Structure 1
Amino acid sequence: MLFRLSVLAFTAILVDAATPPTVKLDTATLTGNSAGDVHQFLGIPFAQPPVGDLRFRRPHPIRAYNQSFSATQYGRACPQQKFTVPVLQGIPQVIATGVVNTLYTTVFPDGEDCLTINVIKPASTIPTSKLPVLVWIFGDGFEFGSPKLYDGTAIVAKSIAIGSPVIFVSMNYRLSAFGFLAGKEVKAAGVGNLGLHDQREALRWVQKYIAAFGGDRTKVTIWGESAGAISVSLHMLANGGNTEGLFRAAVMQSGAPIPVGDIEQGQTYYNAIVDSTGCSRANDTLRCLRTVPYDRLKAAMDATPNMFSFETLHLAWPPRADGIFLSDHPQRLVQKGRIARVPFITGTCNDEGTIFSFSTVNVTEEPQLINYLSNSFFPGASLPQILKLLKLYPENVSEGSPFNTGILNALTPQFKRIAAIFGDAAFEAPRRFFLNYTSGKQDIWVFLSKRFKLLPFVGSVHGSDMINSFFLGQELQDYIIRFAVTLDPNSKGHLDFKWPKYTTQDPKQLVFEDGLAPQVIGEDTYRKEQMDYLMQLTLNVPM
């Protein structure tokens, strides 16, 4: 996070005092920022504020713009769920968590009136330029985050420099209980997965307005990391796989259709919110929640587990099958082939689970691990199923994550084992499962990031590929830009290192490594038996 804040501060320095750019939307004139060869238009409302009676409802499209306004600052973040610092325990954790959350919400002030979109473009574009468009969906566990953390100015500048100019778009979407409230009441009202509906509405806004910025609405690539990548994959499953013309390609970093079940599985947390806010006696608890003061509702949300709590990746507020946005469990939709047939890039980091395993450092013996997996991570799994899983992921620390580090990084006797299970269950196995049902039906490129392997305890940690693709503009960023332009990451003789397409018959993947050979070609066949079993398990017992 400190690295992201540094990038944000540097980007702010780039904004100069030149004549500010403008763009016309309907009858309104928007004034933006000039940052060298790049223009920024920030904090543009794309839907009506989801407040009052619009709280816990699907987004209502923005009315026509009829008043000019300044688009020079990012909008407020959507309500952020309080998170815990995962590397500490006890009193130090309480203190550090308070400090970090206070700093975070100071830098990224939040509030319910948050549905804004940002457009960053080359300064030279005009409405007839018809540039390809990269639409970024941020991650952070569907619980917190803001587009302000992921400024696309450097990406647009890089696209200009390599002769493949693109327009960068990012949006806010509702998070945690505000965006992914779950339960039978939510299902009956048809208001599940509101955060995904927000994203979809932003994509519709792009179709309507991106030409004014010089973009081509027929050349949209949706791109995300972590929860953002999961979101991208779920847009590929929405509407029976019909993109509605909203995008033509996708990029997913550390995210695929996740093994979750029906929205009613979130009833426990819905009930907790209702009880905490004093709505338990209401005849219509959902209507009551729309009237609860914001601070009280936010406090009730903050009291539910976050992704660094003991429950970790068994999230309280993930997207779930609601019968509307997701007509069935995501894995079942994948099996049925209800998938948008668009070209895509997908990949993971080698040690996806390590950062999430600090919350379980008190699980040091196998009986404790059996209890934890049965009650917290895979509730509903039988004891024989858990024992088979542990046989596939043995206690031998040399086989755990960070992978290929021998006896090093064994913070506890179970730490590397847990990290391997977490990473494969939430990231690697769903990606592999998705590939099994898309191979041969569309163009696919797969990568694996093994960089930063020497980082103590975390290795090639979840999110470390972002340094390659987003923040420092290394090779992966170039590949993604070129892919958005031509639907082929190898186009225009980019580098001299060809990234082969993936098929299940020839499962080649591009591997980013430390050392003298930063890119090599590998095979996506590692831990096949383990991942096959994990997908079988989570099909029967969704997380």
Structure 2
Amino acid sequence: MGGRILITRLLSLAVLYVSVAFGLYDGNNTVDLGCNKYAGVSGSNSITKWLGVRYAAPPLGDLRFLPPEEPPCDDAVQIADQHGKWCLATGAAPDNPDTSEDCLFLDVYAPANVTASSKLPVFVFIQGGGFNSNSSPNLDGSGLITASGHSIVVVTFNYRVGPYGFITNGNFVKANNGLRDQRKALEWVQRHISKFGGDPDHVVLGGSSAGAASITLQLAAYGGRDENLFHAAAAESPAFATMLTVEESRYQYENFVIRVGCVGHDSLGCLRSKTAEELQEQNTNVPYPGAAKSPLYMWGPVLDFDLITDLTYNSFAWGRFIRVPMIFGDDTNGGTVFTPRNASAIGESNIFLHDQYPYLDLAHLMEVNSLYPNQNTSCPSPGCYWRQVSDVYGDMRFMCPAMFISSMAAQYGVPRSWNYRYNVEDPGQMAEGIGVPHTVELHAIFGPENTRGGPQSYQPGGINAHIVPVIQAYWTSFIRSFDPNKFRLPGTSEWQMWNSSSRQRIVFETGGNTTVEPVNENTWIRCEYLSDLGATIKQ
């Protein structure tokens, strides 16, 4: 069976190559980018896909740890029917066949038969993964295009993570190359997306978790300098991690050099001489100075006073960000999948938090413990502090940053800004005890058939299947018009714009329902404290 499939594929590719060579191919799916030509593939849903398109040169050899460069040219028509491999992840096996150091690829999804004059709105999505992995590779944009009535173009892409994207030594290794990859992809969109039917003057930037944090960093990049790379933003659960300066992060470079066996006069040259497999064998986290254990995610953006001119909390507090329409929000139980389930005492809760945020001091932890008393009466049984530490971590890393960004947008005159809470309960996740976990809404936004590992209740016939068209309508409305209400489904709630006095946000509920709520006072008090603390603990 597998042999017949392979033979059929080879024959189809041979026919396509011959057709192109003799000028017989109709050319509707072949896009000439000047330096490269890509032949897309059409699906049965009236959507054309161009998969595995290079937006930058392979970051190999002497290009390892450098900012992205232009992709190499190829005169042949390249068949764009296979996703590019995604980028090497921290802690991942050296021989994972799905990953590679050669990973700077993007995918384009567009309605069939679009032309260069179609000028459709464009949605560019940045996947998450804590800046240590590409956690949502190969997302299929077909569901969003269908939900939009075939009126948008979707772009997804990989970017370097871990040491490949975020190592720096303060001298010869420029910081934040993973973020520079993102900007390179956005620059590619500006130059080329019109050839796929998209409008470079109508680009909405989307992202989830570290991808949503990337949105905040791109909004504030170079002190909020607007280079017209995007014109609106929709961010799901922005993750505010510890951000070190280049000098403070030097221990990460030095530790990596030691483990790889590159101590010497030219440690960087040695690192570049190693194979990716050799680097991967040592690509693990180490504790922050003064912390007990390694953080969940060690490598990440650093304060380089170039691309990143200040801590994220400071950048938005001082209004140094691009003013565009924006959506920010989070899930009800964003911390549960990260925190130790066996935490059985307040000390274990505090140690976990300190490992992630080493600039939390004793006074900060004392106030956090007061704001988040343990509600579990089963102590001292194993795990009785799991939900307490989950609540703190979820608010500190995701929920409170999302509300802070929305508040700063309103304060600094962003004309349209919205906030949400995702509260769709899946029976399996509820039984597992994780509630409504981090970024689960991604499966509804893209559609469960276009993502991996989503809840069964989102599938057709499931109790939460109705949330899929509901949230897709809001998102595609925002992509099309910079307003989630214009094309929302009949009978769904009008999504009120955020302001810091009423603090109204939309709530996506189980079964596809939507409501509007003011943020409750207890949550607001906690978030005011954590947001005021944010810059102190280097978020």
After TM superposition, the score normalised by the length of structure 2 is 0.84
Q: Give the secondary structure class of the aligned counterpart of 2:179.
A: helix
Q: Give the secondary structure class of the aligned counterpart of 2:171.
A: helix
Residue 242 of structure 1 pairs with residue 225 of structure 2: yes
Q: Give the secondary structure class of the aligned counterpart of 1:80.
A: coil
**Correspondence for 1:504 among 500, 506, 520:** 500
Which AA in structure 2 matches 1:424? Answer: D
Mapped to 2, the partners of 1:149 and 1:255 lie a distance apart of 21
Alpha-carbon distance change, 65 to 510 in structure 1, aligned in 2, over 3 angstroms: farther
Name 2:533's counterpart in structure 1. Answer: 537
Name 1:89's counterpart in structure 2. Answer: none
Name 1:404's counterpart in structure 2. Answer: none
Q: Which runs of 5+ in 1 are unaligned?
A: 1-11, 84-100, 399-406
Alpha-carbon distance change, 415 to 63 in structure 1, aligned in 2, over 3 angstroms: same
Residues paired across the two proteins, number = 488
Q: CA deviation at 1:240?
A: 1.8
Q: Give the secondary structure class of the aligned counterpart of 1:295.
A: helix
Q: CA deviation at 1:465?
A: 1.2
Mapped to 1, the partners of 2:53 and 2:308 lie a distance apart of 28
Map 1:406-425 onto structure 2 (within 5 A).
Answer: 412-425=383-396
Name 1:385's counterpart in structure 2. Answer: 364
Q: What are the superposed Cα offsets for residues 105-146 of structure 1, whole Å, 9 maximum, x if unpaired?
A: 34xx11111111111100020111011100011112222226
Maintained 8 Å contact 1:259/1:331: no
**Correspondence for 2:43 among 15, 35, 39:** 35
After superposing the two structures, state which structure 1 stretch, 30-39 or 461-470, moved more.
Answer: 461-470
Q: CA deviation at 1:158?
A: 2.3
Name 1:396's counterpart in structure 2. Answer: 375
Maintained 8 Å contact 1:233/1:257: no
Map 1:251-290 onto structure 2 (within 5 A).
Answer: 251-255=234-238, 258=241, 260-280=243-263, 282-290=264-272
Name 1:172's counterpart in structure 2. Answer: 158
Which AA in structure 2 matches 1:323? Answer: F
Q: Give the secondary structure class of the aligned counterpart of 2:315.
A: helix
Alpha-carbon distance change, 371 to 112 in structure 1, aligned in 2, over 3 angstroms: closer
Map 1:33-432 onto structure 2 (within 5 A).
Answer: 33-36=41-44, 37-63=46-72, 66-82=75-91, 105-106=96-97, 109-145=98-134, 148-160=137-149, 165-182=151-168, 185=169, 187-189=170-172, 191-255=174-238, 258=241, 260-280=243-263, 282-302=264-284, 304=286, 315-357=297-339, 360-374=340-354, 376-397=355-376, 412-432=383-403
Mapped to 2, the partners of 1:30 and 1:129 lie a distance apart of 19
Q: CA deviation at 1:293?
A: 2.1
Residue 449 of structure 1 pairs with residue 411 of structure 2: no
**Correspondence for 2:29 among 18, 21, 32:** 21
Maintained 8 Å contact 2:328/2:419: yes
- Cα RMSD for the two superposed structures: 2.9
Name 1:465's counterpart in structure 2. Answer: 441
Maintained 8 Å contact 2:444/2:472: yes
Mapped to 1, the partners of 2:36 and 2:336 lie a distance apart of 49
Q: CA deviation at 1:76?
A: 1.3
Mapped to 2, the partners of 1:346 and 1:323 lie a distance apart of 26
Mapped to 1, the partners of 2:352 and 2:159 lie a distance apart of 32
Q: Give the secondary structure class of the aligned counterpart of 1:160.
A: coil
Report % sequence identity. Answer: 28
Q: CA deviation at 1:239?
A: 2.0
Q: Give the secondary structure class of the aligned counterpart of 1:260.
A: coil
Q: What are the superposed Cα offsets for residues 154-189 of structure 1, whole Å, 9 maximum, x if unpaired?
A: 22222226xxx100111110011111114xx2x333
Q: CA deviation at 1:259?
A: 5.1
Maintained 8 Å contact 1:38/1:121: yes
Q: CA deviation at 1:485?
A: 1.0
Mapped to 2, the partners of 1:133 and 1:436 lie a distance apart of 26
Q: Which runs of 5+ in 2 are unaligned?
A: 1-8, 17-24, 449-467
Mapped to 2, the partners of 1:72 and 1:191 lie a distance apart of 34
Q: CA deviation at 1:495?
A: 2.5
Which AA in structure 2 matches 1:491? Answer: K
Mapped to 2, the partners of 1:145 and 1:61 lie a distance apart of 21
Q: CA deviation at 1:194?
A: 0.8
Q: Which structure is higher in helix share?
A: 1
Name 1:86's counterpart in structure 2. Answer: none
Which AA in structure 2 matches 1:383? Answer: L
Maintained 8 Å contact 2:36/2:75: yes
Mapped to 2, the partners of 1:121 and 1:451 lie a distance apart of 29
Q: CA deviation at 1:314?
A: 5.3
Maintained 8 Å contact 2:342/2:386: no
**Correspondence for 2:405 among 423, 434, 457:** 434
Q: Give the secondary structure class of the aligned counterpart of 2:145.
A: helix
Q: What are the superposed Cα offsets for residues 408-427 of structure 1, whole Å, 9 maximum, x if unpaired?
A: 9x971211101001101110
After TM superposition, the score normalised by the length of structure 1 is 0.83
Name 1:481's counterpart in structure 2. Answer: 476
Q: Give the secondary structure class of the aligned counterpart of 1:394.
A: coil
Maintained 8 Å contact 1:155/1:470: yes
Q: CA deviation at 1:190?
A: 5.5
Alpha-carbon distance change, 138 to 367 in structure 1, aligned in 2, over 3 angstroms: closer
Q: What are the superposed Cα offsets for residues 222-273 of structure 1, whole Å, 9 maximum, x if unpaired?
A: 1011111111111101022123011000000111655523233333322221
Q: Give the secondary structure class of the aligned counterpart of 2:510.
A: coil
Q: Give the secondary structure class of the aligned counterpart of 1:385.
A: helix
Maintained 8 Å contact 1:26/1:65: no
Q: What are the superposed Cα offsets for residues 43-88 of structure 1, whole Å, 9 maximum, x if unpaired?
A: 11111111111100000123556432111111111112236xxxxx
Name 1:5's counterpart in structure 2. Answer: none
Mapped to 2, the partners of 1:24 and 1:137 lie a distance apart of 25
Q: CA deviation at 1:28?
A: 4.2
Mapped to 1, the partners of 2:271 and 2:367 lie a distance apart of 43
Alpha-carbon distance change, 278 to 465 in structure 1, aligned in 2, over 3 angstroms: same
Maintained 8 Å contact 1:353/1:423: yes
